Amino acid sequence: MQPESDHPHHRPLLALGLRLAAALVLAGLLACVKLASERGIHLAEIMFWRQLPTIPILLGWFALRRQLGTLKTARMGSHLRRSGFGMVGMTMNFGAATLLPLAVATTLNYSSAIFAVVLSALVLREPTGVWRWSAVALGFTGVVVIAQPWGGELPLLGAAIALGAALMIALISVQLRDLGRTEHPFTIVFYFSLFSVPVLALAMPFVGQAHPLEDWLLLLACGVIGLLGQVLLTAALRYGMVANVIVMDYSGLVWATLFGWLVFSNLPPASFWIGAPLVVGAGLLIAWREHRLGLARRALAEPKEA
């Protein structure tokens, strides 16, 4: 397999900036989704309008730039698999945002780094040392403290859905990194919407309804903000390694807490302030360890001077 540092589009500083912007935009998207849900709009309808605007916007973008050929792909099967995982992940991610305080849902999403380590060890049989297993233990301790399965302030269903979303994020990040080797970020985003909109449209006769102007503007915001966030996220994984750029995700916790307070007058429960640093610390430890291992691999791969 090609080393990450030899990725044809490897630009680490740009990747960090894109991921930082994505964290802000995606926190705003979850705020819009939660607000739409509280106004009585069904989750399936929110997802449909989140995805639908992407298709004409990107088609128009490529047409104006005379780059419609960019949508040609030899990896349709990979796009289809990414769309399947993306649909499940979006459902869980949006569902968690409607059931939990935004900051809590965001923090539990950060356990995706923990799941990535576990999947690498159990599925890919990658060697995993004491540092990363310690981070896994630390992170899951934080998750337990936040969720309080013995009976706390948070709904267990919401916590379970948020953890499922985190698992899907880990899987999708690997898919995006692989697709980014050959596909333009907009192409990846386009096919995700192209494959998911017909599936979501099947639910519209049962969940779709008339809305006042404010609700339509909110749904439009979900579509435009979601498109921007997805493009930023996909582009970050095109230009940088997963282990490096994921550090920027934790800035989203600040925005999620701020949106929760300003928009919903909602602050996380006391358990959050104890568990969140453990989850974030685990993710940072994993990112640091992956960075160090990457440096070591590159050093070994470099030809030694005679």
Q: Which residue has the tokens 């994993």?
A: 286
Extract the tokens encoding 166. Answer: 């985190």
pLDDT of residue 190: 92
Q: C-alpha distances in angstroms, 132 versus 139, 237, 258, 276? A: 10, 22, 31, 18
pLDDT classification of 266: cutoffs 50, 70, 90: confident
Within a domain: residue 303?
no
Within a domain: residue 20?
yes
Q: Which range (13-17, 121-125, 279-283) has the least confidence?
A: 121-125
Radius of gyration of the chain (CA): 20
- Count of CB atoms situated within 10 Å of the CB of 205: 7
Within a domain: residue 304?
no
Within a domain: residue 18?
yes
The pLDDT tens digits for 8-28 are 556 777 888 888 898 899 899
The number of domains in the chain is 1
pLDDT classification of 124: cutoffs 50, 70, 90: low
- Count of CB atoms situated within 10 Å of the CB of 17: 17
Within a domain: residue 305?
no
Q: Is 170 left (phi over 0), alpha (psi -120 to 50) or beta?
A: alpha
The pLDDT tens digits for 220-246 are 999 999 889 888 877 887 777 665 676
Highest mean pLDDT pick, 38-47, 155-164, 293-302: 38-47
pLDDT of residue 303: 58
Quote the domain boundaries for residue 129: 4-297
- Whether residue 79 is predicted with pLDDT greater than 70 in this model: the reply is yes
Q: d(Cα 111, Cα 133) in Å, to the nearest integer? A: 13
Q: d(Cα 158, Cα 147) in Å, to the nearest integer? A: 9
Q: Which residue has the tokens 């979850």?
A: 30
Within a domain: residue 306?
no
Nearest one of 141, 122, 143, 121 to 132, comparing CA atoms: 121
Within a domain: residue 46?
yes
Within a domain: residue 107?
yes
